[in-house]
Amino acid sequence: MSKRIRVNQRALWPRGLTYCAAACVTAGWLASTPAQAADSPAEPTSENPNASLDLARSVAVTGREAFNAGDYETALALFRRAYTLYPAPTVVLYEARTLDKMGLLLEAVEAYVRTTQIAVPSDAPGQFAEAIAAARQEERALRARIPTLTLRVAGVSANDPTLKVSINGRAIGAAQLGQAQRLNPGTYRITGSISGDRSDTAEVVLRESQKAQVALQLTAPSLGPPPPVLIRPASATSDTQLAGSANSLRLAAYISGGVGLVGLGGGVVTGLMATKKHSEAEGECQDHRCAAGSDGPGMVEDFKSMRTLSTVFYGVGAAGIAAGVVFWLIAPDASEASQAQAFAPWSDARTLGVQGAF
For 224-264, how does the pLDDT look when each residue is reduced to its tens digit (9 = 90+)? Answer: 566 665 555 444 445 556 566 667 777 777 787 787 788 77
What is the tens place of the pLDDT at every residue in 121-158?
888 888 999 999 999 999 999 999 999 999 999 888 88
- Quick one: what percent of the chain has pLDDT higher than 90? 36
How far, CA to CA in Å, does 83 sit from each of 15, 63, 98, 104, 211? Answer: 26, 11, 14, 19, 35
Q: Is the predicted pLDDT of residue 329 greater than 50, yes or no?
A: yes
Relative orientation angle of helices 72-85 and 89-101, to the nearest 10 degrees:
160
Question: Does CATH number 2.40.240.10 belong to domain 9-143?
Answer: no
Confidence of residue 296 (pLDDT cuts 50, 70, 90): low
Residue 99 to residue 120: CA distance in whole angstroms: 23
Summarize the confidence of residues 39-56 as an average pLDDT.
56
In CATH, what number does 148-217 get? 2.60.40.1120
Which burial class, exposed, middle or buried, applies to 173 when counting CB atoms under 10 A from its CB (0-12, 13-18, 19+)?
exposed
For the chain, give the mean pLDDT.
Answer: 75
User: pLDDT tens digits, residue range 301-322?
Assistant: 777 887 888 888 788 778 878 8
Look at residue 45 and tell me whether its pLDDT is greater than 70.
no
Percent of the chain at pLDDT exceeding 70: 66
Mean pLDDT of 75-91: 94
Q: Is pLDDT above 60 for 16?
A: no
| pLDDT at 220 (0 to 100) | 74
**Tell me, what's the pLDDT at 72?**
96
pLDDT at 18: 40
Domain boundary assignment for the chain: 9-143, 148-217, 231-357
Query: What is the rounded CA–CA span in Å between residue 238 and residue 276?
Result: 57
pLDDT of amino acid 345: 57
Q: Are strands 352-357 and 342-347 parallel, antiparallel or unpaired?
A: antiparallel
